[in-house]
Each structure stands twice: as structure tokens, then as C-alpha cells.
Amino acid sequence: MLGFFKYTDFLLENFNLFSQLLHLDFNIPLPHILLPLGLSFVTFQQIAFLVDCYKRIDISNMQEAYDIKSKERDFQIKQYSYIKDNDENKMRAKKVQQHKIEANGDRDSKNSYKSKENNFYKDYIDIYTQSHIKQDLHIKSKIDFIDYALFVSFFPQLIAGPIVHHKEMMSQFGALKNNSYIKWDYIAKGLFIFSIGLFKKVFIADSFAKWANAGFGVVENGGVLNIFESWVTSLSYTFQLYFDFSGYCDMAIGLGLFFGIMLPINFNSPYKALNISEFWRKWHITLGRFLKEYVYIPLGGNRNTKYKDYSHYGILNKLLTLRNLFIIALLSGIWHGAGYGFAIWGLLHGIAMIIHRIYSWVIDNMMHERDSKSFLNTNLNNALESKDEKDSKDIDFKDLDSKSKADSTKQLRNTPLAKNIRNFTQGRFYKVLCWFITFNFINIAWIFFRSENVQGAFNLLKGMFGIIWVELPLKAHHMPKLLGQIGGRNDTLVYIILAFVVCVWCRSATTKLSQHINSITFTILGAVFAYIVLGLFVQDYNVPFLYFNF
């Protein structure tokens, strides 16, 4: 369904273009299918639901016994030693009993005690395992239709995200049935975060939209911009997109809180990221979660354990990990829309992920060395304790720098080179350099994401990197002349600097949700922001939410 509504016109248009290049008298008229609002988000939510339903059916039939035995085995391996080592009362009783046994010389009594002790732990494990597995199977097999209908139609995040998962929503819907009273603290927090999101959208995002739309309009039509206009255009869209999308998600979270529902946080200061992996852990978090659980893990994650019997598994695993990272990045770009710009954006992020992962491996190997004996023991333990599926579940797409279990056996190298690298990577200059490279890459990639045609993106890049020269202004009031094609003003650069300050140094407003702040404080702050934002609605320039198009 998503492919039909979203990509039919694009594919047919390219097919017709290809036919013209081959001088074929064959042309398919474009149907111009209207894209329903929020289709991409709803589709991913339903894919996750249907995939999990398919797994439930599998569990309830042939795989149920196997899964129960597997869970019992894993639980016994991990919990048996824990209970035995940490239950101090039982350990004291054991020592006292053993002392009595040795004093009396009663071998039969000693064997009887050991048998009772083992039976105690076995019974504890059986009771714990069976109760949790039965509860898990019960949850998986019982789906309330009313809750599902509410999950499908819950409107705050329906149009532009975040992409919610049925597990986090169904439980909250069920809790609402048992708690019919109004949660005033939720309403106060909802008003606060909703007002913040509305302020981001109306005041900040729409202000940057003026300059971004004007600049891209010039380059997309074959025009040229000077270096100031080019950088202001690209940075304006970078900040417009962030404040527009994060503003909508804040508003969605606020609306959800009005109904007593906590929606997942979708942004966590992504422009503070020091590398591309960290950026994806902070930007559009729910999209990354979906791609991790339903694409990255099925592809093998960064373990690819089905190839572990190969002689060169280490090298093959690294190559497959790079492949998996590239696929999810490219898929993320294509998901956003039907166009070459989206594909190029995903391609650039895929290449960046590959480069960063290789760089991380190289730096890690230069600073660490493995203890081969501990490494062998760790692998043997992993082989006994883990299943392929479980190994994959340890992988988190938004934590692309996560280390494997064997990393605990690494030791720091004491060579001069390793010490110099370690000191350099821990210094402030290195962090600033990483942020500078990461942010500028993100800014450049957004150009292809925004531009209506590829040529317009390249025209803007030409202006940004000095191919079109411009003389530096001597006075501040000369700036509007340098930004004339995009409608810039004297305060344009001030807006950009303030946006940098907000994105890089300020904490996200959603962090306040987990803090225990008086509801009256939230209400007052929310009312003040709402009053300010409502006063801004009188402005003539209003822009729809960008993610409504996706």
C-alpha cells in the first residue's frame, strides 16, 4: 500500500523518461495518486503490529514448547548462580548445616541436604520461569480489539509521528480503564510541552522557512547565490527542519499527556552529536527503533551469527555489519519520499556510517589489545549461553557504537602511539572537531533532502564552497544587500547564531517531563508560552508542518 500511494508516480515517470532515451514510442500516463496524510507513519506502525502478531501465532503453536525450554535454559544459566551466590541467608544455613554434617560424619545426611538444596533452587527456577513465560504468552495471545482500534486511531501522533509501538501503547490504554480519574500533573506537563512545540514551529521554524524557501527557489530554477546567501539558505533549512519536526513531536507528546498517554520522545538534541551514529541515536528515535527491530536485526545486526562457523567469520561479520548499516540508512532515505534527493540523502548517510564504523574499529584496535585466553573463554561461554535470536536482540540501531561481550577482555595498549591517540581523543579539541565535521556533513546532506531537483542541490553547494566569490561586508548594515535574493535582514545572522546556541548548548524540553516539578509551575510556564505563540498567529507567513509531506 505504501509503495502504491507513494512511489507509483515516481516509478512511472522514470519509466517514461527511460523510454524516451531509448526512442521508444511508449508512454504511460501518470495517475497522480494523492498521498494520504501520515501514511508512512501508520504503515510502519501496522507492519510492526502484524510482524509481532505473526510471531505470536508461531509461539502459540509449534514453537511454544521450544521457546519455553530455551527460556528455561537461559534463565537457569543466568539465575542459578546468582541466587546461589547472593542469597546470604541460604548460604549461612548451608555453612551451618555442613558444619553439623562434618561434625557428625553423617554422609547420608550430607547427600540429603545437597539434594534438598538443589531441589530448592530448581523449584524456585521452575516457579519463576513458568509464571513469567505463561504471563508473556498470555500477553502475546490476548489482543483487545477496542485497544487496537484506539491504537490505530489515536490522533496526536497519527500524521507526522513519532512512530509508536503497540507494546508501549496497549499497556497504557489498559491502564486507563482502571484509572478513570483525571491526571492533573499530566495535563500541566502536556500544556507546557505543547506550548514549547508550538513556539518552536510558529516562531522559530517558520522564521527560517522564509529564507530557506527563497534560497532553494533560486537555485532550483538555475539561479546562483553568493557564499553568504548559500550558507544562510542551507543553515536555515537545517534549523527549520529540526524545529518544525521536533516542535510537532513536542505538540504530539503534549496532546497525549492531555489524555493520560505518554508518547515516546523522538528527539534528544541531535545537533550535539559528535558522530553520525550518535546523530541517529538522537534524531527521529522512533524511526531508528523500527529499523533496528524489523530490518537491522533480521539482516543479522552486527553479530551475523548464522555465519559464525565460517573460517573467516571475523572479517565476514564486519563486512556484513557495514552492509546492514548501509541498507538501513538507504531505506531511511527512500522511506521519506519518492525522489532522487531522498535516495542520495540516504546514500550519503550510509557511506558516513560505514566510514565512521571503520574509523571506530581502527582507533579501537590501535588503543586496545585482546587477552586471547579471556577472549577464548568468553566465546565459549557465549556459545553455551546464547541463541542467534538473542544475540541479535542485544543490538541497538540507535547505539551503533555498542560493544560486543568480548570487548570486556580488551586491555589498553601501553605504546607511545596508543597513549597519544588516547589523550587526543579524550581532549576538548577532538570533540569540537568531531562536532564540526558531523554537523557540516548533516547540513550538506539536508540540501539533497530539501531540493526539488538534484541540479538545484549542486548549484547551492557551488555557492557554499566559494566557487561564486563575494566580497566581505565592512559594515553590518550592508548585510541585507548580500542576502537580497533570499530576503535576508540585519537580524538574519542573529537568528542563526541563536539557533546554534539553542541546538548545541540548551537541553531538550522533553527532559523536563521526567523531573518532579510542581504542576502549578508547568501550568504557568505553559500558559505564558501559549499566550506568546497565539500572539504570533497574526503573522502573514505560515508554513505547514514539513513531515506532513512524508
Cα separation, 353 vs 297, in Å, equals: 17
Residue 169 and residue 144 in contact, taking contact as beta carbons nearer than 8 Å: no
Count of C-beta atoms within a 10 Å radius of residue 527: 14
| Alpha carbon distance 505, 13 (integer Å) | 45
H or E stretch including 370?
strand 368-370
279 in Cβ contact with 438 (< 8 Å): yes
Q: Are 193 and 509 in contact (CB under 8 A)?
A: yes
- Give a three-class secondary structure readout of 226-238: CHHHHHHHHHHHH
Alpha helices of 179-275 — where are they, by DSSP H? 184-199, 206-220, 227-258
Taking the CA atoms of residue 523, residue 529, residue 531 and residue 534 in that order, the dihedral angle to the nearest 10 degrees is: -130
∠ CA(278), CA(169), CA(281), 5° rounding? 0
User: Are 38 and 159 a contacting pair, CB within 8 Å?
Assistant: yes
Could you give the CA distance from residue 251 to residue 241 in angstroms, rounded to a whole number? 15
Catalytic residue among 166, 336, 349, 356: 336
Unique residue bearing C-alpha cell 563575494? 470
Beta strands in 371-415 (DSSP E): 410-412
Whether 230 contacts 211, CB under 8 Å: no
Task: Measure the CA angle with vertex 355, ends 350 and 361; round to 5°.
Answer: 125
The rounded distance, in Å, linking the Cα atoms of 431 and 418 is: 18
Q: Nearest to residue 153, comparing CAs of 139, 164, 140, 168?
A: 164
Residue type, 537: F
233 with 460: CB under 8 angstroms? Answer: yes
367 close to 355: Cβ distance less than 8 angstroms? no
Residues sharing a CB contact under 8 Å with residue 357, sequence separation 6 or more, in sequence order: 277, 321, 322, 325, 400
Question: Is 456 in contact with 220 (CB distance < 8 Å)?
Answer: yes
SS3 call for 369: strand
Pairing of strands 368-370, 410-412: antiparallel
Q: What's the burial of 304, exposed, middle or buried (CB within 10 Å: 0-12/13-18/19+)?
A: buried
Q: Distance (Å, rounded) from C-alpha 478 to C-alpha 72?
A: 74
Beta partners for 370? 410
Whether 336 is a known active-site residue: answer yes
SS3 546: helix
Active site residues: 336
